[in-house]
Amino acid sequence: MKMANNKLIYFDNASTTRVNPRVLDVYTKACDEYFANPSSIHKEGQRSLYLFNRTKEDLLSLFKLKEHEVIYLSGATEANNLAIKGVALRYKNRGKHLITSIYEHPSVLEAFKQLEKEFGFEVTYLSPDSQGVISSQKVESAIRSDTILISLMAVNNEIGSINPIEEISNLLEKYPKIIFHVDACQAIGKLEKEINYSNVDLLTISAHKIHGLVGFGALIKKKKIDLLPLNSGGGQENGLRSGTEDLPNALAFLEAIKIALNDETRNYLYVKELANRLVAYLKVHSALFELNSTENVNPYIINFSTLTKKGSVVVEALSNENIMVSSTSACHSSKEKGSYVVKSIGKDDKISSNTIRVSLDYSNTLEEVDILISTLNKIIGEIR
Ligand code: PMP
């Protein structure tokens, strides 16, 4: 097949994003200027510590959070593990029941499975409706007298559906013994208006989904909540995450968040235009494609299935044409079992085994979407 275009078209932004040069600049300057260990008691170390703590204050004020504190760690996987296992193991004497959903990221699901298998917890896995949404009523009806933790994602990483996090967090105010954790790493900076997280107890965010550096993120937690630390060591981050504090990454992360939140609404409206163009094409060709992303969806993630060709073959053919999309999420895209997320909204095995996820970014253009559409036309016609 001849190359349709020689420019890379990157539509895998839910998987990771290109680092913003401003973020990289902050990082490299900080590596040079502020390399002293914030735990050292000499003058340079104390300067690093001051700046490190300032990044946390700035981060909290960007999200308008007054009752929270920040724990920096290596990304959303670690934040989810610390939140879920940290709460369950710390509060196990309060109750043994936990609630999550069946379409969470593996870093959430596997943590719950471990708690079930190794530690005797009981977990209720909620199913989303056909739109990919988990309602507050569904959450409330799963609550038991021994429920200690509820963990739900804000935006699903495969189909882009948005959960009513504010509504659920307000509802849970009636249940002060239940701790509410939200994996928001696909939501931050990618909604029409950022969610108000003030009633969320634990919040997971990650740098590389918003043009920050891979390998850094935060768990933002209400101060009053205690966690069992998973790392033993030097006692950094109030004993909750031992390991030398990473000031350059903290500064770079703050820059990435500032950029993401600053232009959030404008970026959203722009990306929505791109998404609308793609969705309109998919709808017109409903004999060839089934749309899996539905109405209440974040436009950054458009998921559909190919009806006449194998999804993975189309992904590969697009890649050969320099267009990067993914089949499910990058975390399990090589296993070929079909998407458990797409199955969770009621789609059959054929649909969920042939999914394509186009995850957009504000750096993409309408022209790129048009190239994707014309290349899809060509591929769908060519593959036997
Ligand atoms: N949760 C969700 C919803 C995600 O999309 C991802 C990234 N695929 C993660 C967690 C894991 O993020 P990280 O790479 O920062 O560990």
- Measured CA to CA, the distance from residue 307 to residue 31 in angstroms comes to 50
Measured CA to CA, the distance from residue 198 to residue 112 in angstroms comes to: 25
Instruction: Note the helical H segments in 100-182.
Output: 106-119, 136-142, 165-171
- Kind and range of the H or E run holding 294: none
What's the pLDDT score for residue 1? 44
Give the pairing type, strands 355-359 and 301-306. antiparallel
Q: Give 125's strand partners.
A: 100
pLDDT, average across residues 133-154:
98
Centroid of ligand 1 to alpha carbon of 35 (angstroms): 28
User: Looking at residue 381, what is its pLDDT?
Assistant: 82
For a ligand 1 pocket test, name from 185, 249, 332, 359 the mutation site with the most ligand atoms within 8 angstroms of its C-beta. 185
> Residue 117 and residue 121: Cα distance in Å, rounded?
8
107 lines ligand 1 (CB under 6 A): yes
Q: Give the model's confidence band at 235: pLDDT under 50 very low, under 70 low, under 90 confident, else very high.
A: very high
Annotated catalytic residue within 142, 331, 373, 383 = 331
Mapping DSSP to helix (H, G, I), strand (E, B) and coil, where does residue 48 land? helix
Report the pLDDT value the prediction gives residue 382, as an integer from 0 to 100: 65
pLDDT of 337 = 73
Residues of the chain with CATH 3.40.640.10: 21-262
| pLDDT recorded at residue 331 | 54
Q: Which two tokens stand for residue 105?
A: 């990221």
Residue 74 CA to residue 355 CA, distance in Å, equals: 29
Q: Where in the chain are all domains bearing CATH 3.90.1150.10?
A: 9-19+263-382
- Domain at 21-262, CATH from 3.30.70.940, 3.40.50.720, 3.40.640.10, 3.30.420.10: 3.40.640.10
pLDDT at residue 295, rounded to an integer: 75
What mean pLDDT do residues 122-133 have? 97
Return the CA Rg of the chain: 21
Reduced to 3 states (helix: H, G, I; strand: E, B; else coil), residue 206 is strand
Instruction: List pLDDT tens digits, range 5-48.
Output: 679 999 999 999 999 999 999 999 999 999 999 999 999 999 99
Which residues on neighbouring strands pair with residue 221, listed in sequence order? 69, 202
Q: Exposed e or buried b for every residue in 7-16, given b needs 16+ CB within 10 A?
A: eebbbbbbbb
Q: What is the mean pLDDT of residues 254-270?
A: 97
- What's the CATH fold of domain 9-19+263-382? Aspartate Aminotransferase, domain 1 (3.90.1150)
| pLDDT per residue as tens digits for the range 37-52 | 999 999 999 999 999 9
**Calpha distance 33→248 (Å, rounded):** 9
Residue 37 tokens read as 């260990």
Tell how many helices (H) and how many strands (E) occur in the chain: 12, 12
Q: What percent of the chain has pLDDT over 90?
A: 93
Q: Is 183 in the pocket of ligand 1 (CB under 6 A)?
A: yes
- 39 CA from centroid of ligand 1 (Å): 29
CB 59 within 8 A of CB 70: yes
- What's the confidence (pLDDT) of residue 39? 93
Known active-site residue 31:
no
Ligand 1 proximity of 185 Cβ (cutoff 6 Å): yes
Tokens of 201: 């107890």
Q: Which pLDDT belongs to residue 329?
A: 57
Q: Is 328 close to ligand 1, i.e. is its CB under 6 Å away?
A: no
Q: What is the pLDDT of residues 57-96, one digit of tens each?
A: 999 999 999 999 999 999 999 999 999 999 999 999 999 9
Smallest CA separation from ligand 1 atom 1, residue: 105
Please give the Cα distance from 311 to 225 (Å, whole number): 44
CA of 381 to the centre of ligand 1 (A): 35
pLDDT of 272 > 90? The answer is: yes
Per-residue pLDDT tens for 289-338?
999 997 778 999 999 999 999 999 999 999 999 999 998 755 554 455 78
Cα of 246 from ligand 1 centre, angstroms: 20
Render the burial of 86-104: b for 16+ CB within 10 Å, e for the rest.
bbbebbeeebbbbbbbebb
H helices within 120-246, ranges in order?
Answer: 136-142, 165-171
| pTM assigned to the model | 0.95
pLDDT at 3 over 80: no
Mutate to test the pocket of ligand 1, among 186, 213, 214, 216 (most ligand atoms within 8 A of CB): 186
pLDDT band at 199 (very low <50, low <70, confident <90, very high): very high
Which atom of ligand 1 lies nearest, measured to the CA of 329?
8
Contact 75 CB / ligand 1 (< 6 Å): yes
Mode of pairing for the β-strands spanning 289-291 and 301-306: antiparallel
